[in-house]
Structure 1
């Protein structure tokens, strides 16, 4: 939806085809943290996308609310990271990238998050990190597109194959409701992107990675910050709801939830913040991330099939990397100035690029 909005703003007529409902897959299921969880552990290309997007999100949120009347609820809560084994690497990375990141002691920890379990003596604090209520972000985007005359939304319409000329140039897609002709096709289908390229004998190094989440029905102020410990996190929402996540499961396209994950995530969240035990565990769900080994998304045109563009493979960072990814691909499609080098994200890059079958 972000990509459709950006292209429409350039005067392009866009048909957005979604096999289900817009924004109801990983975009809906994630936690909405506008940062990689441990940003210093990622490669420079991911940092480039993340930094650009984080700077842009406040403007995006305000613009979407003004255009749609739906507040995506961007909240700059900051990120409090507990039990970090590579603290020095983190602080060094922060200094090199001019990123606000500091080591704090117990007094500051409990000033920031008073209801944390006792005993934490050190943490890394990133005050600039925000979270956004991603279901509301998706609703806002869809509402904007609905009122844009240059965008046609086709939901509950599955793409069966990408159609090309004998020379390999893309000329549209075949769906379960008929043909849709176009001058270009953008593949932004998350974990399902690889399946849609099979008809072209192209293999993508993307696989589904399930993540399960639980939701506590809390009260405003019980949790003030995003709190991260040993890869698991709790995220406050403005209305008092608290998200806890997330699992990392390699089990194909299975989106079912499990009692064991529910218990694990609830126990970890309550261990971090004991007061959560007094609140109802209201919901549990799962989503499928588009896993890729190096975490660097594929953004650009497929050389063997002119007119076919990819914007996929964002793994755990789809939300935070989306605005920058959209900006880059838009510049490639429109042949305008790039916001940064497209080379590290090229689908034909030697590491984790396309595989022709």
Structure 2
């Protein structure tokens, strides 16, 4: 099999990269080790914002702002194309009892973002199911959440309708095809796929895969566990976050509680310890949840990176090889901007933002 671009990985980053590349006219083959969209992209919460955006580097902020502004457009486009609604819901987000509230408000002023202090009385008026003990709050209007399992399903459906895209599932990449220093494709468990360009979007598996090329990219798995509850529609009207834990309302009444942060290599087994910890957080945020058992408990693997800044762009020492990986906790948040930037660079168009902070060459050399 041959193509213009082989995309390794079919999570949100891989699927959306393929989507944009196919719109540019490229013939794309997407290769996935398992089932498309069933790893971190399925397991996460889908808040369209970093949990604490003021604590990140400007490089993350630039991608996040572009993506946040574009997500409603993307959601509606995919709904119209596929009939699968990703459910991009604008609910706003309350941060409760922030220790660095002053820094958050200063960041918002500098970045012109709608984050402001609000009274706890106002929060309780809008979120009457909130637990006691909260004394301070800040609110950012316009923050959305996307129903990530539906997002990856809609992306998959969109790609299946594109004549210049082939989606290959249950086919792990076992190595790369080379002509001298140039990467000219990938070898899968089934066949060789020849390509002018290879884009690695393999999430938590990216670092391990790139080691086969002698490339040390610091992307490693970081486990996260989540709970899902069911409440009546409208029970929770806004996202709330305290002590690093959040509650996210879905359109149909489901409530997500997350998440843990664990270094456990590639182990995705849900644990009793995490279950107890997340249930305690759920009861603290929303006391009514203490009276019921969660309807689901799962774990996923984030593509951890040292500073949360993804690697996006070509690898100079290995022509033909491109990266779009290492998004850590913000893959869904940053996906639209990351994938548009990757497409702009690969197709030699003017990039949407300055690509320098994400360029693999200088960063890997420095590392």
TM-score (normalizing by structure 2): 0.94
Residue 330 of structure 1: SS of its match in structure 2? helix
CA–CA separation in structure 2 for the residues paired with 1:128 and 1:10: 30
CA–CA separation in structure 2 for the residues paired with 1:162 and 1:219: 50
How far off its partner does 1:202 sit?
A: 0.8
How far off its partner does 1:355 sit?
A: 8.2
Aligned to 1:343: 356
Aligned counterpart for 2:166 among listed residues 134, 152, 158: 152
> Which structure 2 residues correspond to residues 88-99 of structure 1 after superposition, within 5 A?
88-99=102-113
CA–CA separation in structure 2 for the residues paired with 1:5 and 1:354: 30
Aligned to 2:198: 185
When residues 8 and 68 of structure 1 are mapped into structure 2, their CA distance, relative to the original with a 3 A threshold, is same
Q: Which segments of 5 or more consecutive residues in structure 2 lack a partner in the other structure?
A: 1-14
Kept in 1: contact 2:313–2:323 (CA 8 A)? yes
Aligned to 1:61: 75
> Which structure 2 residues correspond to residues 252-331 of structure 1 after superposition, within 5 A?
252-331=265-344
Superposed structure 1 runs of 4+ greater than 6 Å apart: none
Aligned to 2:39: 25
How far off its partner does 1:197 sit?
A: 1.2
Asked if 1:211 is matched to 2:224, the reply is yes
> Which structure 2 residues correspond to residues 43-122 of structure 1 after superposition, within 5 A?
43-122=57-136
How far off its partner does 1:225 sit?
A: 1.1
CA–CA separation in structure 2 for the residues paired with 1:65 and 1:355: 42
CA–CA separation in structure 1 for the residues paired with 2:184 and 2:120: 60
Aligned to 2:210: 197
Cα RMSD of the aligned pairs, angstroms, is 1.1
Kept in 2: contact 1:218–1:280 (CA 8 A)? no
Residue 239 of structure 1: SS of its match in structure 2? coil
Kept in 1: contact 2:127–2:237 (CA 8 A)? yes
Aligned to 2:3: none
Q: Which segments of 5 or more consecutive residues in structure 1 lack a partner in the other structure?
A: none
Kept in 2: contact 1:204–1:355 (CA 8 A)? no
Deviations 1:168-220 (A, max 9, x none): 11111001001011101000001100121122111111110000001112221
Aligned length: 353
Aligned to 1:173: 186
